[in-house]
Chains A and B, each alone.
Chain A
Amino acid sequence: MLTKNRTVFTELGTEAIEKGLADPQLSAFYESMMSSSGLVSEKLREHMPYLSLCSDKLEGIGPPPIFYVGRRSSQRHLFGEDWAMQQGQELRTPDPDLEEASAAAYRAALEERPYYGYARTAIHMEDKVVDIAFERLIIALRPSPKSDRRFCAYFGVIQDLQQL
């Protein structure tokens, strides 16, 4: 049982992945991307269903807007199909507090190195509040060697989820 009203966002560092402490699928994604030096290759294909992708645009207090939500990704599982396919405005997670708390990890991934961390928090959605614990890996990738664009790939693994 999670401790209510206790929010934690902490970086564990990719060393924890290398020591075998992370989720196996997340670890496979990390190793695959490291072996291709952060460049998109065919190796990314098998991981696409589990990823959310967002831009490299860091403005204000939130993380970059999302443009792709994998069919089996943790964000689609958490926020639902309608959220994942919504149109009309930039796609962002529905809780402003979550947006603000998660932004630093994207900044670290874009400016320094891949971010691997653990989080536990309450998320406020339109019709419910959930307590969630998850690990997350964020890696900045380049779609091709010549591209001046980068994007963030987010691999989240929900460890515990309880509706309040």
Chain B
Amino acid sequence: MQTPPFIISEIHVPNQLKPRADNVVKLKAEVDKHNLTDMWDMILMLDYQVANVHELSSETREEFCCIIALLLKAFTK
């Protein structure tokens, strides 16, 4: 019997681990509001090597969002 092809989209990812589009939008709005857009761009370009957050995979976008959440805390709290 032949093994079925491995399909990435069928991997189950718990909902709490999925980056939500609205979370990215909210974070970007906060970043812009606090004049941290350059920092957002710097991390995206130098670490993730993309120009737009939507070019990231779901998992990588989640990791990026964690960094941005820390960025906001580090500069604004």
Do A and B interact? yes
* A-to-B contact residues, CB < 8 Å: 40, 42, 44-45, 48, 54-57, 64-68, 85, 87, 89-91, 143-144, 147-149, 151
Tell me the complex Cα distance, A91–B74, Å. 8
Q: Could you tell me if B46 and A40 are in contact, using CB atoms closer than 8 angstroms?
A: yes
Report Cα–Cα, A48/B41, bound state, in Å: 14
Cα distance A66–B75 in the bound complex, in angstroms: 9
Q: Which 10 A-B pairs have the closest CB atoms?
A: A143-B38, A55-B74, A65-B74, A67-B70, A67-B71, A67-B74, A147-B38, A143-B42, A45-B46, A55-B75
- Measured CB to CB, the nearest residue on chain A to B71 is A67
**24 intermolecular pairs with C-beta atoms under 8 Å apart:** A40-B46, A42-B46, A44-B46, A45-B47, A48-B47, A55-B74, A56-B75, A57-B74, A64-B74, A65-B70, A65-B74, A67-B67, A67-B70, A67-B73, A67-B74, A68-B43, A68-B47, A87-B70, A89-B73, A90-B74, A143-B42, A144-B38, A148-B35, A149-B38
Distance of A42 Cα from B47 Cα, bound (Å): 10
List the count of A-B residue pairs having beta carbons below 8 Å apart: 62
Q: Is B29 an interface residue (CB 8 A)?
A: no
Q: In the assembled complex, which residues on chain A have CB atoms less than 8 Å from the CB atom of B46?
A: 40, 42, 44-45, 48
Give the interface centre of A68, A87, A148 by most chain B CB atoms within 10 Å: A68
How far is the CB of B60 from the nearest CB of chain A, in Å? Answer: 12
Residue count of chain B within 8 Å CB distance of chain A? 20
Q: Binding site of A, secondary structure by majority: helix, strand, loop or mixed?
A: loop
- In the complex, A149 Cα to B36 Cα: how many Å? 7
Minimum C-beta distance from A118 to chain B (A): 26
Whether the Cβ atoms of B43 and A149 lie closer than 8 Å is no
* B26 contacts across to A, CB distance below 8 A: none
Question: CA A150 – CA B14 in complex, angstroms?
Answer: 37
